[in-house]
Chains A and B, each alone.
Chain A
């Protein structure tokens, strides 16, 4: 029974080859991140390693992505940088989704009450500030490191989930099944989290997958300006920034981390679209 259901999902998902490409990319990146110490040819290069004799070597068989100014293998550093990037995405979403969704449910269910007005006006204020500017402001006030970058991105990201769920909750609360639960006398908690929320899950999951890519991109932007993971730990944004000084001669130092960022965003976007299709077909 379960198997056939899974099979059906896979059938729907794989009808769009791009979704499968997305899944493969994401699986590859996650694999490289988890097994970085074994996959990377020079794991020690992820730390404070210096070997000026090997510095600025172009891509070759021993260093497929070349080496940077300290003689560190770029490929190895990219694999390790996946770790902080994915960690950023996962942690940010783990903070942002419960907060944003709960606020959206509350505001949507209590539409036109003071709860709605309070929550949605605050949401509007956050949404009116350009996201990167807000994150830059927060990280520059705090100490620049990965944790604070995650806090900064979380602060700017939750309103999107509040908005999304608010829209769904305002229409779902008028459905007869919600009215029926009210007339039975079910608690507000039950109505919010057991009646309304399950009907929002597919949309939330789709957005989460798409957002993984965007959160990682913002994270890379923050590390590009030096407000993310601090050297010598590798971060994709930092690597692009460091290599930029040596363009175009030593192009590989920044181009490969740049391509890695692109690959992450592309992978999560394709996967997110695939999951979105899956749910929209499921509902049809």
Chain B
């Protein structure tokens, strides 16, 4: 299958008054049509920075982004309109992603007008159709964002992103600002929409358990690096990286069967270090239970241990 999005050795350094923040370091992955690619990490791991670079909101320090084989590493202001149509984003905070002074109808109308997607007389019809895709009643077109709940706002943001019929949707923690009950509804809507339209999702989240249910492939980021990348099944059943094991073992479960599936409890120790002052060698070594001498000196490379399963760890690649 042809890749929808390819990210190659992406890097992003921010220069701040306290030093250079190495937010993203040599990140590579691909997303295929109709696939959900979960990019998981703690806050500060650089996952949103990757999403913003894909959208052209940040200019990468190094690396390339290819979309349908075309280089799109440039900032969004230089991207052609046709590309913007094909690549859309849903932001984390539904409260600030809708203009409080514009009605839902006006918000959904903008992309239709900018891209001249439908005849002016059919705009109203299309807005109602978009609302129905996200299971909102047509009267909502008249409402203003302040009259909507958080989940409904996020649904409108999803409808806006879908209005241009994109083939890749970047979801930047679309549910983390919402109640759990509403989360489930948003997720099931997203899954249904993906099936109906063969959409690719770049799903950014800090919620690993969410990825178990919806992602086809998962990559875990730590301090700007992808530590492990695998299909969701392999990722959750046979994790190799100590960091992945640590995170998976800390997910709370309800049943005995689930407990059996989990890796042996690995206690998480220490805090995530500052991305300004990175530890030498492997960035995870200060917290790693399987730390060795080499980990303190040399940064491990990404190694494909089996087809489609990549790990950045000395302990795994040297075949312990």
Residues of B within 8 Å of A182, CB to CB, are 76-77
User: Is there contact, CB below 8 Å, between B84 and A177?
Assistant: no
User: Is there contact, CB below 8 Å, between B97 and A177?
Assistant: yes
Determine if B251 is an interface residue (Cβ-Cβ < 8 Å). Answer: no
Number of interface residues of B (CB under 8 A): 26
User: Is there contact, CB below 8 Å, between A180 and B91?
Assistant: yes
Using A185-B84, A185-B85, A198-B102 as known contacts, say yes or no to A180 and B114 having CB atoms under 8 A apart.
no
Q: Is the interface of A mostly helix, strand, loop or mixed?
A: helix
Determine if A44 is an interface residue (Cβ-Cβ < 8 Å). Answer: no
Residues A144-188 near B (CB distance < 8 A): 175-177, 179-187
Residues B100-157 near A (CB distance < 8 A): 100-102, 110-111, 114-115, 157
User: Is there contact, CB below 8 Å, between B55 and A183?
Assistant: yes
Using A183-B55, A185-B81 as known contacts, say yes or no to A177 and B110 having CB atoms under 8 A apart.
no
User: Is there contact, CB below 8 Å, between B99 and A199?
Assistant: yes
Determine if B98 is an interface residue (Cβ-Cβ < 8 Å). Answer: yes
User: Is there contact, CB below 8 Å, between A199 and B100?
Assistant: yes
User: Is there contact, CB below 8 Å, between B114 and A177?
Assistant: no
Residues of A within 8 Å of B55, CB to CB, are 183
- B95 CB to nearest A CB, Å: 9
User: Is there contact, CB below 8 Å, between A175 and B96?
Assistant: yes
Determine if A190 is an interface residue (Cβ-Cβ < 8 Å). Answer: yes
Complex CA–CA separation, A180 to B88 (angstroms): 9
Determine if B160 is an interface residue (Cβ-Cβ < 8 Å). Answer: yes
- B249 CB to nearest A CB, Å: 35
User: Is there contact, CB below 8 Å, between A195 and B115?
Assistant: no
Determine if B89 is an interface residue (Cβ-Cβ < 8 Å). Answer: yes
Using A183-B84, A183-B88, A184-B164 as known contacts, say yes or no to A177 and B76 having CB atoms under 8 A apart.
no
Residues B64-84 near A (CB distance < 8 A): 76-77, 81, 84
The residue on B at minimum CB distance from A179 is: B57
User: Is there contact, CB below 8 Å, between A180 and B97?
Assistant: yes
Determine if B165 is an interface residue (Cβ-Cβ < 8 Å). Answer: no
Using A175-B96, A176-B91, A177-B96 as known contacts, say yes or no to A184 and B101 having CB atoms under 8 A apart.
no
